[in-house]
Amino acid sequence: MDMSAARTIWQGFHWTFFIDVQGLVLSLARFGDALTRGCMDSARIELRSAATLLRASGAAMKLAGSFSPSEYNDEVRLSMMPPGVRSDNFSGLMSWDHARLMRLWQELSPRLGDLPAALDDDHEHFVQAFVAMITAHREVCRRFVGEDSGSLRSSDCAVGILEKVLRSRLKLIDPQQRHAVCPFSGRTAS
């Protein structure tokens, strides 16, 4: 069965997104190792690379949504529900890569809250890149399901779920809340 152009776009750019997540896991693991060794130049390179990968994953999200809302509802969304998938609450959150990234962020969180001043600008770029990625994901979600519709995983508002994800992840990657301003409220993301 041939996939529609919308499904091909959706799937292809989600694969790109997950490749970016895999690169992010590697960069952040190397960042933590560089911090342990006291190699600030290497830590800076890895933190900058992680920010670039976050921005790339945000771009992949935008591109994944580059078709009409009717194509999403009539084709793409249906392909992510049974019988197209074996789970009735399908989500990218179910991936091994996402789980590894969350464990890594939890491990790095105390260190991200106590970085040397020499890495402050790079940390700010990393945090802002994360905000840009979640914002891109949120905008695609809003475009396709609106402000109040549920996600595939939950009847809760999909856009609201992403706003909660933003706040909880910012607590991990910017535990001192030095750089995190929630783009949805304009307040510090607490």
Considering the chain, what is the average pLDDT of its residues? 87
Q: How many CB atoms lie within 10 A of CB 131?
A: 24
Report d(CA 151, CA 164) in Å as an integer: 13
Q: pLDDT band for 162, please (50, 70, 90 cuts).
A: confident
> How many CB atoms lie under 10 A from the CB of residue 134?
24
pLDDT per position as a tens digit, 115-138: 999 999 999 999 999 999 999 999
Distance CA 30, CA 41 (A): 12
Tell me the pTM: 0.88
Token pair for 189: 């993301």
What confidence tier does 95 reach under pLDDT thresholds 50, 70, 90?
confident
pLDDT of 145 reads 86
CA torsion angle 170 13 97 82 (round to 10): 110
Q: What is the pLDDT of residues 18-66, one digit of tens each?
A: 999 999 999 999 999 999 999 999 999 999 999 999 999 999 999 999 9
Judge whether residue 190 has pLDDT over 50: no
